[in-house]
Structure 1
Amino acid sequence: MNLVFHPIKKFKDYILFIGFHRLILCFITLLFLFSTFGLSQFQSPQFITSTYKYINKTLNSILQRNQISQLAKIIVVSHFNENLDWLDLLVDDQISCIVYTRSSKPLPYQHKFVINKGREAVVYLQYIVDHYSNLPLSIAFVHAHRTSWHQKNPSDIVIALQALQWNKYNYMPLTSEKTRYEFKPISVDPQVKVNYELWQAVLQKELGPPPENGINAHCCATFVVKREAILAHPKIFYSNIMNYILASSYSDQLTGRTLEYTWHMIFGQPAHINYRTCDIFICDSNGMVSVPLDRKKKLNN
């Protein structure tokens, strides 16, 4: 009987990422076999052995198909020509990384080349489209620079990722810097007009009308989002946004920024959001962002 309990134990270990619907499928399969062959056949050594092989093969197949979705978290980097040495500081944190680059220079990380249009918006959308069926539990979408004017409290993206309370919320901005913008068909500001047109063309079907009072949210397209928030929309939704940006006659600065202003709404947040720093990051008793001690050593080396 050990042959029976071994795969059951193995099955138990993988329930969390196999999914409840697959668990039901395996149960129905076993029930069908039991009703078809009867109790005596079910207890035979030959049946036990064949059942063990079938379950083991099924589990291994599921594991291979879901190799990426097993990951708890991943960092998706939009790269042009920035220094990526800071990624080495995250190697021991068990955070996988993928770099989408526009650079022709070889990189020491897994990467893909994408058309040089749409800035980070197209990179993020490309990743979602590429991995829609096997997304990790949480994805951090970031720029390739370690520090910038908009990376505030914390001012270092490495500290932000190491102090982050991963998986706490469906959507979590990685900076406290704020931005606001409007969506109107007529405006002296071309960005306002582009915001409106892009929303009407590819966002409205899923999100409804554009926000009447504009948006007030965290700045500049560095955030973490859970898989379930991405899967709230069909894959074609993300493909349509990407295709619209790539085909647009407007500049990258305009179309790319529209996505900066709308990512939080795409992932289920209201138009106006304001996360407190210590709701997102680990903080010390003084309310300052705090990296765990074991990680501080690496930052100081």
Structure 2
Amino acid sequence: MKSVTLILVLNEIIIWTRDSTECLQWNWVSAFQGPMFLRILDRRVRLCLAGTLLFVLSVFYFLHNNINKNNSGSANGQARPKSLPKNGHGHDQQVAVVVAGLRSSNTKWLSDAFPHWDKHIYIADDELSRLRIPKNKGREAMVYLTYMVDHYDDYSNDTAILFLHADRNQWHNDDEKYDGRRMLQRFNFQHLMREGYVNMRCHPYPGCTGGLDLTTVPSVINTSESATIFGILQNLAILFPGSTRPPDHVAVGCCAQFGVTVGTIRQTPRKRYEELRQWLLDTSIPDQTSGRVMEYMWHTGNTLSRSKAMLLPGLRAV
């Protein structure tokens, strides 16, 4: 269909060019027939040139619009969602995304793909960013906790909040091509409404593994896993307040991207998020370790989810 349309347009250009040429030739010959024809010549030449210019501009306008319509809302063959997702009651689901980004991040893909969603984009290493964090410390956890503290009273309880990393293509995304756009297009909001909290990493590898063994203090801190275990055990009072001992194991799907309802956020007092954020600011453990400690805490009853520490409620969420 596109080829036929293009052929017809090109055919019209050829016909118009031929007619315009004849018109100009007629006026050029007529110019030698007397002064009166010179005036006719000038007028006809101007009309022919103006008409030709208008026709060419119209053709370019048509082709440009046709290309834009075909490309609108699509990237790599993926169509833009035609409507808002539905919640469990069949109504439009209100969605907001909280994004942990850096100055080097490109978040335009979120606006292009999901224009109806609210975006709260934090640039952690930009002190002049519109949305600010107290300090660039604790990786994405500082951004997430700052949003929960500052926007605790925003939105209704059934609003979906998606906590994300900034870049579209990254191995953290639960997609065979690591495409964040496709991951979010498939996200099951009705499942989120039922569970209240879901982890976005549902890939079977590594899946929900045995997690961290908290029954023994590591004798050597030489891996990210041993550093995380030591970080948790060293900070039991803040991470598991009121508990005499931690769970034997804590397990979670990878990568600190999750969805949560506003109602679930409000099940925990704002003060709790303030305490965790202050711990991130004050702790002396390395930045990457404190962020990873929080990665293992989001789904526990001491932070967001009321599930048991071993449960991965987000499995099969997308």
TM-score, normalising length: structure 2: 0.58
Tell me the residue number matched to 1:202.
238
CA contact (8 A) 1:129 1:238 kept: yes
For 1:65-214, list aligned pairs within 5 A: 72-80=94-102, 81-92=104-115, 94-104=116-126, 111-136=131-156, 137-153=159-175, 155-166=178-189, 167-177=193-203, 178=207, 180-183=211-214, 186-187=217-218, 188=220, 189-198=226-235, 200-205=236-241, 209-212=245-248, 214=249
Offset of residue 148 of structure 1: 1.8
Q: Which amino acid is 1:202 matched to?
A: I
Cα distance change, pair 208–160 in 1 and its aligned pair in 2 (3 A) = farther
Q: Distance in 2 between matches of 1:176 and 1:105?
A: 34
For 1:35-74, list aligned pairs within 5 A: 72-74=94-96
Tell me the residue number matched to 2:310.
272
Tell me the residue number matched to 2:292.
257
- Partner SS state of residue 140, structure 2: helix
CA contact (8 A) 1:102 1:114 kept: no
For structure 2, the residue ranges without an aligned partner over 5 or more in a row are: 1-91, 221-225
Cα distance change, pair 251–268 in 1 and its aligned pair in 2 (3 A) = same
CA contact (8 A) 1:101 1:114 kept: no
CA contact (8 A) 1:185 1:197 kept: no
Cα distance change, pair 207–125 in 1 and its aligned pair in 2 (3 A) = farther
Offset of residue 255 of structure 1: 0.7
The structure with more radius of gyration: 2
Tell me the residue number matched to 2:265.
230
User: Greater shift after overlay, 235-244 or 96-105?
Assistant: 96-105
Q: Distance in 2 between matches of 1:105 and 1:242?
A: 18
Offset of residue 218 of structure 1: 0.9
Q: Distance in 1 between matches of 2:284 and 2:144?
A: 20
Offset of residue 276 of structure 1: 7.3
For structure 1, the residue ranges without an aligned partner over 5 or more in a row are: 1-69, 282-301
Q: Distance in 1 between matches of 2:135 and 2:127?
A: 15
- Partner SS state of residue 75, structure 1: strand
- Partner SS state of residue 116, structure 1: coil
Cα distance change, pair 207–76 in 1 and its aligned pair in 2 (3 A) = farther
- Partner SS state of residue 229, structure 1: helix
TM-score, normalising length: structure 1: 0.61
CA contact (8 A) 1:185 1:196 kept: no
Q: Which amino acid is 2:197 matched to?
A: Y
Cα distance change, pair 88–76 in 1 and its aligned pair in 2 (3 A) = same
Q: Which amino acid is 1:123 matched to?
A: V
- Partner SS state of residue 134, structure 1: coil
Q: Which amino acid is 2:107 matched to?
A: L
User: Greater shift after overlay, 171-180 or 255-264?
Assistant: 171-180
Q: Which amino acid is 2:121 matched to?
A: V
